């Protein structure tokens, strides 16, 4: 919160890769991310904001500088407010004139003036007047521009009374992007756009875009939504979301339509090239390409713009469904085949393993499908291979897996080894009463880290009618359960106590404050604002130990955030508690 009386919340609801489905709330208005905000030019409305609202676009972006510079629009906006001016009830974000500054070299307004104007007209999310440095600028210029941007950020921070963007600049110098992100993370802002990337998008320099986004994300605190300024073609959405981008904007839907260009998820076609529409949106269902070509230009542009908006919306929904199903990497792989430069960017993204692995869920609803050579570099695969190598130190007996190579024999039931599909089948080897305990120990070592198997060395395993291990007990008490869907362990309280004894602090711990302690003991979920510390090696969907600040066990459950996210986030759930110790 700032000195202004507003409410801003962002929490993660689902995730895959570094992508996330989030709930963003501004003063009672809610949207789900990832989301795209169509650019609305108040002087050239090709599609009315009210129509955008009916199509399901609950956030739009317009340019406060254009309104400010037009006397009639400025007076109306001050008198009516921007929502009435545009006849739109959703969230309205505004740019400040930075794009015009990059394009034309000058704007006739000061940083303070544009921020105060945004207050007056009642925008939901503002933007201060940063200095966008284009790609390939001399380093001296990039450093000078960034210095001014950070000075203006400080000025805006002191006067802002609304949620506000703080744009990350730095040209193509990744260290400057990281520096800007780190400094702005320490200031009182709500959203962080990554700016001055339109020239990279226009020239298909996607590999450099990847490095810029990742360096910015590495410097940023993870609870701030990230907006990729000017990215509005669906061809880039899946890749960008996998990097951790939450918001997009673009005028491309309208600009392309005016030029008779027709969007598809894999690129853009000219209307003159089309005999058939490969789409079933309201426009393509009603008209043929020939009928559109015969229309007056203004009406044709409007209909093409509506089609382009439907394609954009459909791709965002496709991405969100992929996140829900744990299939985002498959969608990225598919989209990357649309253009050689995009394919190169996909391969570059996979080189950023250390960044991606922190946010990659430990388990997924879907099996792993080897659909390409690149899929063998997905973080879930590389992490599984690293952990398998660690387990082999204690359980050296191996079997040959057609995708993963030699893996410990007793991990043959565990995700992703058993839950995978390649050219050849992997025959699952079921445990016997004599060796079932070795499966449990190996899974523990794989799942919880080195030394964890000691907590399960004397267990008895109940095997189901299908021959699979299920309940894990000691002296008749449930210690853990082997999940049928992924072959990983869910802990009972007895298992949590045992793991707590063998793992030194802070491994697999989520530490909560005194206020949360009685609720966790009763089995209530842990909310992020009550977390005082967490093991930074915790990954999303890990099974974790919830403890108080004296390291006394309170409960056990499934992490919904990474360890670092738990410490930083102040809203949303951090751990879905399965069982509390009771008291």
Whether the CB-CB separation of 247 and 228 falls below 8 Å is answered with yes
Closest C-alpha to 352, from 239, 448, 222, 246: 239
The DSSP result for 148-191, as a single string, is HHHHHHHHHHHH--S-EE--B--TT-HHHHHHHHHHHHTSS-SB
* 108 part of the active site: no
Please state, in angstroms and rounded to a whole number, the distance separating the CA atoms of residues 24 and 30: 6
Stretch (H or E) spanning 311: helix 297-325
Report d(CA 266, CA 335) in Å as an integer.
7
The burial class, CB within 10 Å (0-12 / 13-18 / 19+), for 414 is buried
- In degrees rounded to 5, what are phi and psi of residue 341? -70, -35
- Residues near 136 by Cβ (< 8 Å), separated by ≥ 6? 171, 172
The CA dihedral of 96, 97, 99, 103, to the nearest 10 degrees, is -170
Whole-number Å distance between alpha carbons of 515 and 527: 11
CA distances from 108 to 196, 296, 434, 469 (A): 20, 37, 80, 71
Q: What secondary structure does DSSP assign to 53-80, as a single string?
A: HHTT--EEEEEHHHHHHSHHHHHHHHHH
Helix (H) or strand (E) holding 480, with range, is strand 477-482
CB 74 within 8 A of CB 67: yes
CB 60 within 8 A of CB 23: no
Catalytic residue among 95, 145, 486, 535: 95
135, 177, 133, 315: which is closest to 239 by C-alpha? Answer: 315
* φ/ψ bin of 414: left (φ > 0), alpha (ψ from -120 to 50), beta (otherwise): beta
CA-closest candidate to residue 191, choices 373, 456, 10, 406? 10
Contact 380, 360 (CB under 8 A): yes
**Overall residue count recorded for the chain in this entry:** 583
What are the residues facing 478 on neighbouring strands? 473
Distance (Å, whole) CA 574 – CA 563: 9
By annotation, the residues acting in catalysis are 95
């Amino acid at each position: 919160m700032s000195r202004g009386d507003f409410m801003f919340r962002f929490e993660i609801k689902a995730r895959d890769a570094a992508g996330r489905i989030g709930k963003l709330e501004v003063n009672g208005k809610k949207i789900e991310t990832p989301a795209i905000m169509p650019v609305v030019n108040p002087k050239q409305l090709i599609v009315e904001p009210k129509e955008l609202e009916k199509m399901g676009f609950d956030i739009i972006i317009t340019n406060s500088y254009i309104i400010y510079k037009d006397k009639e629009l400025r007076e109306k906006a001050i008198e009516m407010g921007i929502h009435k001016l545009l006849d739109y009830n959703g969230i309205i974000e505004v740019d400040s004139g930075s794009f015009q500054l990059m394009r034309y070299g000058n704007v006739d307004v000061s940083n303070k003036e544009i921020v105060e104007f945004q207050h007056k007209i009642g925008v939901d999310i503002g933007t201060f007047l940063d200095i966008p440095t284009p790609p390939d600028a001399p380093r001296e210029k990039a450093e000078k521009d960034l210095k001014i941007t950070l000075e203006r950020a400080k000025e805006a921070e002191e006067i802002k009374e609304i949620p506000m963007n703080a744009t990350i600049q730095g040209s193509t110098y990744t260290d400057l992007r990281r520096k800007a992100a780190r400094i702005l993370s320490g200031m009182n802002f709500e959203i962080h756009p990554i700016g001055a990337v339109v020239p990279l998008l226009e020239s298909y320099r996607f590999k450099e875009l990847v490095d810029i986004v990742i360096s910015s994300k590495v410097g940023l605190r993870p609870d701030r939504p990230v907006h990729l300024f000017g990215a509005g073609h669906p061809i880039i959405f899946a890749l960008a979301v996998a990097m951790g981008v939450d918001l997009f904007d673009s005028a491309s839907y309208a600009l392309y339509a005016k030029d008779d260009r027709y969007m598809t998820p894999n690129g853009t076609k000219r209307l003159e090239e089309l005999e058939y529409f490969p789409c079933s949106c309201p426009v393509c269902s009603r008209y043929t390409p020939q009928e559109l070509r015969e229309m007056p230009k203004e009406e044709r542009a409007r209909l093409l713009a509506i089609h382009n908006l439907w394609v954009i919306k459909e791709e965002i929904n496709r991405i969100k469904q992929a996140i829900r199903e744990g299939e985002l990497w498959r969608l990225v792989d598919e989209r990357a085949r649309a253009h050689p430069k995009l394919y190169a960017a996909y391969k570059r993204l996979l080189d950023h393993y250390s960044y991606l692995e922190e946010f990659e869920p430990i388990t997924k609803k879907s099996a792993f499908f080897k659909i390409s050579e690149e899929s063998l570099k997905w973080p879930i695969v590389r992490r599984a291979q690293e952990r398998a190598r660690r387990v082999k130190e204690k359980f050296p007996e191996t079997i040959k897996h057609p995708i993963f190579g030699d893996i410990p024999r007793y991990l043959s039931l565990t995700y992703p080894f058993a839950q995978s599909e390649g050219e050849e089948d992997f025959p699952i080897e079921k445990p016997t009463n004599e060796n079932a305990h070795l499966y449990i120990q190996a899974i523990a070592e794989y799942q919880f880290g080195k030394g964890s198997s000691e907590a399960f060395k004397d267990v008895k395993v109940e095997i189901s009618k299908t021959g699979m291990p299920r309940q894990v007990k000691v002296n008749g008490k449930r210690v853990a359960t082997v999940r049928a869907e992924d072959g990983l362990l869910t802990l009972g309280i007895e298992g949590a106590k045992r793991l707590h004894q063998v793992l030194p602090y802070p491994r697999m711990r989520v530490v909560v404050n005194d206020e949360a302690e009685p609720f966790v003991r009763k089995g209530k979920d842990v909310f992020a604002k009550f977390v005082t510390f967490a093991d930074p090696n915790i990954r999303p969907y890990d099974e974790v130990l919830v403890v108080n600040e004296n390291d006394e066990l309170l409960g056990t459950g499934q992490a919904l955030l990474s360890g670092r996210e738990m410490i930083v986030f102040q809203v949303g759930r951090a751990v879905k508690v399965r069982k509390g110790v009771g008291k």
